[in-house]
């Protein structure tokens, strides 16, 4: 994971804020004290010593403070765009048919392979900046549009560079098993061998991977092929996750659970066996309402069953050029509530505490507590539920990253 370093600073106060700490909204106005890049105290404002405001800088007053938002599933680094496929879908062509015709992921693969690292960085940076302006302080970026060692490495290097040059934490995920490259047509097992025998070892050795993902689906890779990828990931002590049960039920969630996956993502077709498996494994269910919306899906994830099972639900943009060209995480809050019937509190947990869990970062990210890094957002609203209630830009007053205000 990459991000900028903390610098020394005098204590700052955020006074009289409505505080959502990643789990719940506090009943009374709270005060946060930030020093040396960390939250040092959180107290009710009614109990705050008068001397604090005399001695320290009041950086913010009133409004709402939340943890920095976490987008735990994106494909931000890619070449070209797929506006023509958007048009095709509106003319009645299915996502699966577009993929079968050589479009979909493979059209982005061709554009990504043709782009230089600098080209990919230049196109990804404004997408990332849009997320940051929306309150995001941590982003997962997947590879998966290179489908060769050279081009997967290129994508991951760009993702690392974004985290080095911008005030944001970047988690990189290797998604070599995203689609079958054209040069391996009809030879999926041979391609998976390349992923396992060459790509993962080389990229792990270069410290470019934080996790490994697969696309387990009838238009992508089988359970057996995905399991081989997981076995290799575990040899290199890399956590796994899966794009599963998006278009059909291939029982990918049960496979993910056997390997203690961080998350299962999409899961529109998740069944009871999959629910019980991920409950036992502690795996997070990541909901991607942007893809559900863009693809005009009608088969909802089993939200009530997930809720009853006590499975944590994360929410992410799935920002990508094909099925979710959306780079606004706060919009996903509204979509999760209106399309999937989450409560505003569940939605906020989904982009803070549970999103951190989906990235294996629960110990450091996703909640506001004394001693933790000061990564939070100060919003010009009266109640945290407003973030999910309305779709409205320019509500972010301050974005704080490692104790420093970046917007």
Q: Write out the two tokens for 195.
A: 């992923």
262-308 pLDDT tens trace: 999 999 999 999 999 999 999 999 999 999 999 889 999 999 999 99
In three-state secondary structure terms, 134 is coil
Residue written as token pair 């040059």: 165
Distance CA 189, CA 364 (A): 38
> Which residue(s) pair with 277 in the sheet?
none
227-266 pLDDT tens trace: 999 999 999 999 999 999 999 999 999 999 999 999 999 9
Superfamily of domain 69-358: Metal-dependent hydrolases (3.20.20.140)
Predicted local distance difference test score (pLDDT) of residue 8: 56
Tell me the CA distances in angstroms from 52 to 12, 58, 279, 373, one per residue in order: 9, 9, 45, 21
52-78 pLDDT tens trace: 999 999 999 999 999 999 999 999 999
298: burial class by Cβ within 10 Å (0-12, 13-18, 19+)? exposed
Q: Does residue 373 surpass a pLDDT of 70?
A: yes
CATH 3.20.20.140 maps onto the chain at 69-358
Distance CA 273, CA 279 (A): 10
Q: How large is the average pLDDT for residues 91-101?
A: 81
Predicted local distance difference test score (pLDDT) of residue 4: 47
Please state, rounded to an integer, the average pLDDT across all residues of the chain. Answer: 95
Choice between 45 and 105, residue whose per-residue pLDDT is larger: 45
CATH 2.30.40.10 maps onto the chain at 12-67+367-405
189-238 pLDDT tens trace: 999 999 999 999 999 999 999 999 999 999 999 999 999 999 999 999 99
Please tell me the CATH code under which domain 12-67+367-405 is placed: 2.30.40.10
Q: Does residue 104 surpass a pLDDT of 90?
A: no
pLDDT above 90 as % of the chain: 90
pTM above 0.85, yes or no: yes
Distance CA 272, CA 279 (A): 10
Give which of 77, 82, 111, 115 is closest to 98, Cα–Cα: 82
Distance CA 346, CA 352 (A): 10
């Amino acid at each position: 994971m990459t991000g900028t370093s903390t610098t020394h600073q005098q204590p700052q106060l955020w006074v009289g804020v409505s505080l959502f700490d990643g789990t719940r909204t506090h009943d009374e106005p709270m005060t946060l004290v930030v020093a040396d890049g960390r939250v040092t105290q959180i107290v009710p404002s009614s109990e705050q010593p008068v001397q604090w405001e005399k001695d320290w800088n009041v950086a913010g007053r009133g409004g709402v403070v939340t943890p920095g938002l976490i987008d735990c599933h994106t494909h931000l680094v890619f070449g070209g765009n797929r506006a023509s496929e958007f048009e095709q879908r509106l003319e009645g062509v299915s996502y699966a048919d577009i993929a079968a015709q050589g479009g979909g992921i493979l059209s982005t693969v061709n554009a990504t392979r043709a782009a230089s690292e600098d080209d990919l960085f230049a196109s990804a940076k404004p997408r990332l900046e849009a997320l940051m302006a929306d309150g995001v302080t941590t982003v997962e970026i997947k590879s998966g549009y290179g489908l060769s060692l050279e081009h997967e490495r290129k994508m991951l290097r760009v993702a690392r560079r974004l985290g080095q040059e911008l005030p944001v934490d970047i988690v990189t995920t290797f998604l070599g098993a995203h689609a079958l490259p054209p040069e391996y047509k009809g030879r999926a097992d041979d391609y998976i061998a390349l992923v396992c025998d060459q790509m993962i070892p080389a990229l792990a050795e270069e410290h470019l991977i934080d996790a490994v993902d697969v696309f387990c689906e009838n238009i992508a890779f089988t359970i057996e092929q995905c399991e081989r990828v997981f076995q290799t990931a575990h040899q290199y002590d890399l956590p796994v996750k899966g794009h599963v049960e998006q278009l059909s039920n291939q029982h990918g969630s049960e496979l993910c659970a056997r390997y203690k996956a961080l998350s299962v993502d999409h899961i529109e077709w998740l069944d009871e066996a999959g629910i019980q498996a991920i409950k036992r494994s502690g795996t997070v269910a990541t909901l991607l309402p942007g893809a559900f919306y863009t693809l005009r899906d009608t088969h909802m994830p089993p939200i009530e069953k997930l809720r009853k099972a006590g499975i944590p639900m994360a929410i992410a943009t799935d920002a990508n050029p094909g099925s979710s060209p959306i780079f606004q995480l706060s919009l996903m809050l509204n979509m999760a509530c209106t399309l999937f019937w989450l409560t505003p509190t569940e939605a906020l947990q989904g982009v803070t505490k549970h999103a951190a869990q989906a990235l294996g970062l629960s110990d450091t990210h996703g909640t506001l507590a004394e001693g933790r890094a000061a990564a939070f957002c100060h919003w010009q609203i009266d109640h945290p539920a407003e973030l999910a209630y309305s779709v409205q830009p320019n509500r972010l007053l301050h974005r704080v990253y490692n104790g420093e205000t970046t917007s």
